[in-house]
Amino acid sequence: MCGIVGYIGKRDAYPVLVKGLKRLEYRGYDSAGIALINNQHQLNVYKTKGKVSDLEQFVENKDISGNIGIAHTRWATHGEPSQINAHPHHSSSGNLALIHNGIIENYATLKERLQRKGVAFKSNTDTEVLVQLIEYIQISNKLDTLIALQLALREVIGAYAIALLDKRHPDTILVARKSSPLVVGIGEDEFFLGSDATPIVEYTDKVVYLEDNEIGIIRRGQELKVVDLNNVKMNPEVQTIEMNLGQLEKGGYPHFMLKEIFEQPDCINDCMRGRVNIESTNVALSAVIDHKDKLLNARRFIILACGTSWHAGLIGKQLLESFCRIPVEVEYASEFRYRNPVIGPEDVVIAISQSGETADTLAAVQLAKDCGAFIYGICNVVGSSIARATHTGSYIHVGPEIGVASTKAFTGQVTVLTMLALALAKEKGTIDQQEFLGIVQELNLIPAKMKQVLSKNQAIAELSRIFTYAHNFLYLGRGYNYPVALEGALKLKEISYIHAEGYPAAEMKHGPIALIDTEMPAVVIATKNAMYEKIISNIQEIKARKGKVIALVSEGDKEIAAIADDCIEIPKTIECLEPLITTIPLQLLAYHIAVCKGKDVDQPRNLAKSVTVE
């Protein structure tokens, strides 16, 4: 999704801005642009379709001087990806330059009104409408830029994080947010700006997250001032962030996705640290301790999420229902928010989101909150909008996830859901002590077992080469591994652009079996658990129709090895923890197939890391 970077201070702004844009590349984008005010108070705007590297080429031999600037990566919503639609957008006079994340929903009405007053537009974007509106209000009422901005934003319906330069005020950047994140980094006599903290961390760990309807006035040599849309002074809270630069680099891996797949054993340890005790006898989540009554007395849980996080939610349902005996519904946040759901104060919503910025999930949380439900967040990004909108929650603590295809966040989410189910079941007395201890002890062994699976990377890479020809894939699993099949299929389609469908294995005979032929490989999760015999029958059904089977089997399995075309052996574990292990070979399979096909693994086409628009 779009990215924002800004700088004001003593350094040359250009290198800071370009580096920041590169750090935001993981969000996905189609064009990039930059605006700088030089020492002669000229405002230079450069933009181009394509990557940040294209922008760098474009500015060669151009004036990129100045200690103040804003920069943007755009992910098209209104108007095709093109140079003209890229940000920053100028006002007609050329005095103002604006960058914007989000969507101005009433842009068409505002544009028509401005056109009637004679304002001409160059682009098809909602952003240009906003910058022209600010200027129109400013000129017609002879106002200063801040007041004009406040009046303009009061007319706007929609979501925005914006940064505005005015060449008549070369020592000021104005920023504002509503429903789209914006972070101001505070350094020594300098400020940094980011749509998340990623472009800021290498300069400072002191940040202010702007709240909705707040405007930040960033002036050289002064303290950050924050006001609301009525010019009432606000008191911003300066926070210290813990992210470090090493977490943002590829660390020797060719892609962030591969690095993140390999980080999973450490991530799961980080996620459990301080929560699962050393002796493996207890699970403690502070949110469960603080809100025990609310959670234990829930009429039901409703899990709301999108994409991969929704798949983790499907596993959470099985864990919570099985151990806590509380009914659980899992819904796509995008559907929930537009229904008229039956929900009230007796319900507990679990909102799952890696980024904590997914617009649909955030809106669904808001709706559930308005209906009186208690909201438990499971997020990765600390201080993100969803994390802040919830009553309580547990961070997954897996570190920044840069690859657009989510990997370590999924296993982190499943780990938190497992700990949540165990902690609640213990409190509720719905789990036998021996079973509880067995699962907790096994949970502690998961990172080591993940490493065993990762050691098969080379073999999986070789296997992947055979399957690059396929145009379709089927992923099958049952029980806890059914959501894993969905997740495996999503990974493959996201990064290799091969059509893939995930199904509960037993459902195959109700339709998808018609697709099976020699050209249709099926990935079957066939570990030795309660469903083992049934899944063997499903494999037989595929083989009888000449389908190719890649089976994920438990170590030492000879029976499936005899019928499947290829097998990936994985270490045995307790059935409810299997998703933490079975997911990894599927991530690697998708990764290597995409690499073989020469695809852009970390920034697949059309996808954005955090989907901050609906």
Active-site residue flag, 609: yes
Can residue 334 be called a binding residue for ligand AGP (CB under 6 A)?
A: no
Can residue 580 be called a binding residue for ligand AGP (CB under 6 A)?
A: no
Can residue 204 be called a binding residue for ligand AGP (CB under 6 A)?
A: no
Can residue 358 be called a binding residue for ligand AGP (CB under 6 A)?
A: yes
Can residue 307 be called a binding residue for ligand AGP (CB under 6 A)?
A: yes
Q: Amino acid identity, residue 466?
A: I
Strand partners, 330: 303
Nearer to ligand AGP, 18 or 405 (CB): 405
Near ligand AGP by CB under 6 A: residue from 176, 306, 320, 492: 306
- 291-299, 338-346, 353-361, 478-486 -> range binding ligand AGP (CB under 6 A): 353-361
Residue 224: how many other CB atoms lie within 10 Å: 17
- 120-128, 129-137, 307-315, 460-468 -> range binding ligand AGP (CB under 6 A): 307-315
Active-site residue flag, 371: no
Tokens of 216: 């930040």
Taking the complex as a whole, the smallest distance from the CB of residue 593 to ligand AGP amounts, in Å, to: 15
Can residue 587 be called a binding residue for ligand AGP (CB under 6 A)?
A: no
For residue 388, count CB atoms less than 10 angstroms from its CB and return exposed for 0-12, middle for 13-18, buried for 19 or more.
middle
Taking the complex as a whole, the smallest distance from the CB of residue 586 to ligand AGP amounts, in Å, to: 12
Taking the complex as a whole, the smallest distance from the CB of residue 497 to ligand AGP amounts, in Å, to: 14
**What whole-number distance in Å separates Cα of residue 346 and Cα of residue 253?**
47
495-to-112, 451, 471, 584, 604 alpha-carbon distances in Å: 40, 23, 13, 15, 6
Nearer to ligand AGP, 166 or 494 (CB): 494
Can residue 496 be called a binding residue for ligand AGP (CB under 6 A)?
A: no
Taking the complex as a whole, the smallest distance from the CB of residue 308 to ligand AGP amounts, in Å, to: 3
- 149-157, 201-209, 302-310, 583-591 -> range binding ligand AGP (CB under 6 A): 302-310
Taking the complex as a whole, the smallest distance from the CB of residue 597 to ligand AGP amounts, in Å, to: 17
Can residue 494 be called a binding residue for ligand AGP (CB under 6 A)?
A: yes
Nearer to ligand AGP, 30 or 494 (CB): 494
**Residue 315 CB contacts under 8 Å (≥ 6 apart), including other chains:** 414, 417, 480, 483, 484, 579
145-to-35, 94, 154, 194 alpha-carbon distances in Å: 17, 14, 14, 22
Can residue 315 be called a binding residue for ligand AGP (CB under 6 A)?
A: no
Distance of CA 602 to the CA centre of its chain: 13
Near ligand AGP by CB under 6 A: residue from 180, 354, 415, 587: 354
Single out the catalytic residue among 47, 49, 426, 609: 609
Near ligand AGP by CB under 6 A: residue from 38, 127, 334, 361: 361
Can residue 132 be called a binding residue for ligand AGP (CB under 6 A)?
A: no
- 82-90, 159-167, 316-324, 349-357 -> range binding ligand AGP (CB under 6 A): 349-357
Near ligand AGP by CB under 6 A: residue from 420, 522, 611, 613: 611
Single out the catalytic residue among 2, 379, 567, 576: 2
Taking the complex as a whole, the smallest distance from the CB of residue 183 to ligand AGP amounts, in Å, to: 17
For residue 238, count CB atoms less than 10 angstroms from its CB and return exposed for 0-12, middle for 13-18, buried for 19 or more.
exposed
Nearer to ligand AGP, 489 or 531 (CB): 489
Taking the complex as a whole, the smallest distance from the CB of residue 488 to ligand AGP amounts, in Å, to: 11
Chain residue at closest Cβ approach to ligand AGP: 307
205-to-245, 362, 581 alpha-carbon distances in Å: 11, 26, 35
Q: Element (H or E) spanning 72, and its range?
A: strand 68-74
For residues 435 to 474, the per-residue mask of contacts with ligand AGP, x marking binding by CB under 6 A and - elsewhere, is ----------------------------------------
Taking the complex as a whole, the smallest distance from the CB of residue 4 to ligand AGP amounts, in Å, to: 18
**What whole-number distance in Å separates Cα of residue 454 and Cα of residue 367?**
41
For residues 376 to 415, the per-residue mask of contacts with ligand AGP, x marking binding by CB under 6 A and - elsewhere, is ----------------------------xxx---------
Near ligand AGP by CB under 6 A: residue from 309, 538, 582, 603: 309
**What whole-number distance in Å separates Cα of residue 299 and Cα of residue 295?**
9
Residue 360: how many other CB atoms lie within 10 Å: 23
**Which of 172, 267, 154 lies closest to 213 in space, CA to CA?**
154
Nearer to ligand AGP, 402 or 525 (CB): 402
**Residue 291 CB contacts under 8 Å (≥ 6 apart), including other chains:** 374, 376, 391, 392
466-to-26, 153, 215, 274, 472 alpha-carbon distances in Å: 29, 55, 55, 43, 14
Give how many residues touch ligand AGP by CB under 6 A: 16
DSSP string, 391-437: SEEEE-------SSS--HHHHHHHHHHHHHHHHHHHHHT-S-HHHHH
Strand partners, 329: 302
């170590």: which residue's tokens?
555
Measured torsion, CA atoms of residues 105, 107, 110, 112, in degrees rounded to the nearest 10: -130
* E strand spans, 106-265: 158-166, 172-178, 183-186, 191-194, 206-209, 214-219, 225-228, 233-234, 239-240
- 145-153, 274-282, 508-516, 605-613 -> range binding ligand AGP (CB under 6 A): 605-613
Can residue 603 be called a binding residue for ligand AGP (CB under 6 A)?
A: no
Rg, the chain, Cα only:
26
Q: Which ranges of 497-549 would DSSP assign to H, the alpha helix?
A: 532-544
- 73-81, 173-181, 304-312, 587-595 -> range binding ligand AGP (CB under 6 A): 304-312
Binding footprint of ligand AGP on the chain (CB under 6 A)? 306-309, 353-355, 358, 361, 404-406, 494, 607, 610-611
Task: Report the catalytic residues.
Answer: 2, 609
